[in-house]
Amino acid sequence: MSTTPNRPSPSNWLKWFDPRQREIGTWAFILNRITALGLTLYLFLHLIILSQLAGGEEAYQGFLDLIRNPIFVFGEWLVIIAGLIHGLNGLRIGLTSFGIAIPYQKQFFYILMAIAVAGGLYFAVRMFAV
Amino acid sequence: MTNQWTLNLLVYRLKGNGAPHYDSFKIKANPDEYVLDLVERIWAFEDRTLTFAHACHHSTCGACGMRINGVEKLTCITPVHTVAKDGATVKVEPLRNFPVISDLAVDMGSLFRRMEQVGHRPVLELADEPAEPGIMRSQKAEDREIIRLADCIECGLCISACPIATTTPEYLGPAVLAGAQQSGIQNNRKLLALIDSQNGAWRCHSAFECTAVCPSNVEPAWRIMDLRMQVMSERIKNWFRSGK
Amino acid sequence: MLETVSTPKKGETTWLWLLKIITGALIFIILGIHFVVNHTLGTVEGGLLSYQDVVAYYQNPIIPIMEIAFLIFVVSHSLIGLRSIFLDLNPSPRALSTVNWLFSAVGIVSVVYGIWLVMTIVSRGS
């Protein structure tokens, strides 16, 4: 079967993440999708690691020591900023789906992302400034 | 006296079983004329094998949608100076998410069939098409006598811009969902099943790209949101009615 | 072959979507509480909870209930969301059915595991 170019197909999924020549809405779509995947990964890692609690005080102390490693701290900061972006954009999606703020949804998105960035900066200072 | 720019048009070409490629055309352009005029001039004087769709040349038929420098445009109303400067290269490509028939012409049959399936009315009473989200044009009884053409010209730009339409041909797409919103699902159970399904209103992820490229004030995105509220209202009412 | 007119396929429907939105809203609230508690109210440097802090925290009956509810909301939201992404790829009915089973299993196992873990911690306090 000859493949006609421009046909919609699941193999085009990489195009989801291509923001070139698109508007800000595509950025919202991309950010929401990437943070969703990242947060899901974090969720299941978090659930598994917490089993250390069941191992008792020493096992958990080992976990507390591990997460002091700067790599982990950076990872946690990524989770925080992902949570902020995903949650705040989700707020826009939820509200617009109920007919609220539709004419201002673009400005709303900018404001929400500004809050997310502010949150990210705040936590960066708290977590990385010695 | 007319300003004459020199532009380099990079036009997408695809014939039969050949490989897609770009042909380069250097042409003179008046900054106030429209991109469609340039494409037509290339066809007339440079390459008679260039295939493209066009008809009315005044944004009513929806035939001349293309991507100019990657962005969806209705080329008959896109002035050259909005997409280029003197000496610039302008990329001209067909719409995304529709199979290419030849060069710049794509097969929009699925769009037309689906618009019919959801009962989109091309002509309707003035009171039936909102002016803006939530704002009806007229509540007056006498305005029932006034009819207008629907905003949607079925040009397909919104479907080209939609990220979900890129990965699934079955997604109804913004134009069709907007058409269903106009049609209204209150009295149409078949439409409810179609919209409240895998390929219906819940497939949208609120990118609002459709509204960004629509040349005709349809604003498909808010219509999809309104359609969602219609669906939710129907489902909740049904749940109370039949205890399902 | 040219596209045929779509026939309705059951997939994401109103109720699943409502669940996604509602769990999303609830997560907003409960995550705030969960985050504040786990990062400011502890005795470990930086506000983290030590093992003893965690056990003590879970003795208040509201907490296991809240945390288990939180787990259910987050796992549901995450899996329904992942399923949405999968639906964007136009899966066949069989592929979708497989994913439905898989995600349901993962969801149930996660919640059961979480409840077990919570109950284990609660019991450490007596």
Residue in chain A closest to C76 (alpha carbons) equals A40
Domains and CATH numbers, chain C: 14-123 (1.20.1300)
Name, of A65-74, A82-91, B133-142, the range with top average pLDDT.
A82-91
Q: How confident is the model at residue C6 (pLDDT cuts 50, 70, 90)?
A: low
Contacts of A61 in chain C (CB under 8 A): 50-51
Domains and CATH numbers, chain A: 24-128 (1.20.1300.10)
For the segment C80-103, what is each residue's pLDDT rounded down to a tens digit?
999 999 999 999 999 999 999 999
C-beta atoms of A40 and C50 within 8 A: no
In 10 A of CB C41, how many CB atoms? 12
Q: Average model confidence (pLDDT) for chain A?
A: 89
**CA B129/CA B137 separation, integer angstroms:** 7
Residue C1 identity: M
Which of the two residues, C13 and C48, has the higher pLDDT score? C13
- What is the arithmetic mean of pLDDT over A92-116? 93
Q: What's the 3-state SS for A46-105?
A: HHHHHHHHHHCHHHHHHHHHHCCCHHHHHHHHHHHHHHHHHHHHHHHHHHHHCCCCHHHH
Q: How confident is the model at residue A1 (pLDDT cuts 50, 70, 90)?
A: very low
For the segment B55-80, what is each residue's pLDDT rounded down to a tens digit?
999 999 999 999 999 999 999 999 99
pLDDT at C2 over 70: no
Contacts of C28 in chain A (CB under 8 A): 87, 90-91
The H or E element containing residue B24 is strand B21-29
C-beta atoms of A6 and B228 within 8 A: no
Beta-carbon-side half-sphere exposure of residue A76 (alpha carbons within 13 Å): 16
Q: Please check whether residue A3 touches B, CB under 8 A.
A: no
- What is the arithmetic mean of pLDDT over A66-73? 86
CA of A62 to nearest chain B CA: how many angstroms apart? 42
**CA C120/CA A82 separation, integer angstroms:** 31
Q: Average model confidence (pLDDT) for chain B?
A: 90
- What is the arithmetic mean of pLDDT over C12-25? 92
Q: How confident is the model at residue B137 (pLDDT cuts 50, 70, 90)?
A: low
pLDDT at B107 over 90: yes
Q: How confident is the model at residue B133 (pLDDT cuts 50, 70, 90)?
A: low
Please report, in angstroms and rounded to a whole number, the separation of the first and last CA atoms in chain B: 72
pLDDT at C4 over 60: no
Q: How confident is the model at residue C8 (pLDDT cuts 50, 70, 90)?
A: low
Contacts of B96 in chain A (CB under 8 A): 6
Q: What angle do CA C19, C21, C22 make, to 5 degrees?
A: 65
For the segment A106-127, what is each residue's pLDDT rounded down to a tens digit?
999 999 999 999 999 999 998 8
Contacts of A7 in chain B (CB under 8 A): 97, 99, 169
For the segment B196-212, what is each residue's pLDDT rounded down to a tens digit?
988 999 999 999 999 99
Mutate to test the interface with A, among B93, B107, B159, B167 (most CBs of A within 10 A): B167
Helix (H, G, I), strand (E, B) or coil at B27: strand
